Copies of this chain bind each other. A is one copy, B any other.
Amino acid sequence: MPMSSTPDPRPSTDLDALLHPRSVAVVGASANPDSPGHDYLRSLIDFGFAGPIYPVHPREREILGLTVYPNLRDVPGEVEFVISCIPADGVPGLLAACAEKGVRVVQLFTGRFSETGREDAAELEREVLRLAGEAGVRLIGPNCMGLHDPRLGISFRPDLPRRAGPVAFISQSGNNTTEVLLHSDVRGLGFSTALSYGNALDLDESDFLAYLAQDERTKVIGAYIEGVSDGRRFLDALRAAADAKPVVVLKGGRTGAGARSAVSHTAALAGSREVWSGALRQAGAVEVATQEELIDLLVAFAFLSGKPGRRTGVVGGGGGRAVQAADACAEHGLLVPPLTDDIRSRLRERSPDLWDWIGNPVDQSILAGTGAGVSGAAILEMMAESPEFDLLIANIGEDWVLGRPNFARRLAHIVDRFVEIGRASAKPVAFVLGPADSPDEERWRAMESARSALVEAKLAVFPTVERAAWSLSRWVEWAEGRA
């Protein structure tokens, strides 16, 4: 058995230390900017990893200004964390070197193990696990993108968002981790940790959940899971995590077709949908069916706060939006009560011509007419102050604004007022703003500014009123369960 220079017969399970290394080596570092071995190295540099970074490659001398070592054994200092981008058959040799260097964690981007469905590859994977155990090294992966921690300065792609924050995401899929990070960033979500862990050969979802349950930087946990090897251990870890903070789970391989695909992706045994849904519910986790739903609920749990309740006040958007908002609320179990007598009497003072026509949801096109004397924002403020409303939905109504002269200034003004009210409100407020996807540059910029102003204020923004209503409803269910 290869001996470590700082021998530790029992692999450490102090994940907090393992996931916060003070030095990192990239084995299989590459000068080719179109390769993972380059991406990992450049990510460490660009994200600002504070400790020493050691590229390892048998023939290169310098990459991105860093001295390259021909072998891990040649690295002069201590190495706590190794990122492996070498082919699978080199991993046993790497683990021997890791043992000598006292490495604590090896993150295996390296794939083509059991997920190929081949017996020789699966045999090599078992051998890797055995060697790691002997070496006192913990493994992340194989077949994974690994750790993304913007505070620490580690990531797997230099272009990923730098935004740090209260959300943790663990995923068997690297592709899905990238998608979630990119699509969460435009929603304003910052991450404590994101972890793509592939085949979960050693460290697995249960380890990560146990760690995140007690991680103080993490307030919300999201997970994409294809399969687990130890169901009981997983449910214990999940229950502990869900007791501590909201946990949102997207289960991949819920169907026969999905399960077959999962086997060739991460060699995961997916299990039946009914068993999974029941187990997730019993453990107190929130199950979602799509990546969009996952991100919507991460937004809801990260940004909504207040007392749960279902009486919803809705403003903004024209008449069609008002009707569709009411339908969406009702279909997702929210209530849309009439305006209170108090609000109606205040509207009567300010808008004697129209007050009796204004309802909940507030049809913004009524207020846009002549002689309204009251704005949607003003009514949102009244609802925020009224004890008769628990939740608020604020439609920005950008499609109308974009047709007006000076739309950029006008949109900014509406957003400013809504941001002010959203920040001051003790109640959960869901804002509705569609994507900044206009082919016209001026409109894209105006929408992008609106989006940015809302999410930088840490407000919960949803792209449609239906997704806002659905998310509020799931948030209320969860919060009621905690009350």
Closest Cβ neighbor of A438 among chain B residues: B186
Closest Cβ neighbor of A353 among chain B residues: B112
Q: Is A439 in contact with chain B by the CB < 8 A criterion?
A: yes
Q: Is A452 in contact with chain B by the CB < 8 A criterion?
A: yes
CB distance from A33 to the nearest CB of B (A): 5
* This chain's copy number in the assembly: 2
- Could you say which residues of chain B place their CB within 8 Å of the CB of A327? 252-255, 257-258
Whether A175 lies near B400 (C-beta < 8 A) is yes
Whether B34 lies near A175 (C-beta < 8 A) is no
* Given A255-B326, A357-B116: A403 in contact with B39 (beta carbons within 8 A): yes
Whether A257 lies near B182 (C-beta < 8 A) is no
Q: Is A218 in contact with chain B by the CB < 8 A criterion?
A: no
Whether A252 lies near B33 (C-beta < 8 A) is no
Which residues of A258-280 are within 8 A (CB) of B? 258, 260-262, 264-266
- Count of residues in A whose CB is under 8 Å from the partner chain: 87
Whether A437 lies near B186 (C-beta < 8 A) is yes
Whether B159 lies near A403 (C-beta < 8 A) is yes
- Could you say which residues of chain B place their CB within 8 Å of the CB of A117? 356-357
Closest Cβ neighbor of A251 among chain B residues: B327
Which of the residues B317, B330, B402 comes within 8 Å of A182, measured between beta carbons? B402
Bound form: Cα–Cα A446–B173 in Å: 25
Closest Cβ neighbor of A319 among chain B residues: B265
Closest 8 A/B residue pairs (Cβ): A175-B318, A173-B320, A176-B320, A255-B330, A265-B319, A258-B327, A257-B336, A257-B326
Bound form: Cα–Cα A357–B336 in Å: 53
- Could you say which residues of chain B place their CB within 8 Å of the CB of A34? 404-405
Whether A173 lies near B290 (C-beta < 8 A) is no
Of the candidate stretches A49-57, A359-367, A420-428, the one touching chain B is A359-367
Whether B175 lies near A290 (C-beta < 8 A) is no
Whether B291 lies near A464 (C-beta < 8 A) is yes
Which of the residues B182, B261, B437 comes within 8 Å of A322, measured between beta carbons? B261
- Could you say which residues of chain B place their CB within 8 Å of the CB of A321? 173, 175-176, 179
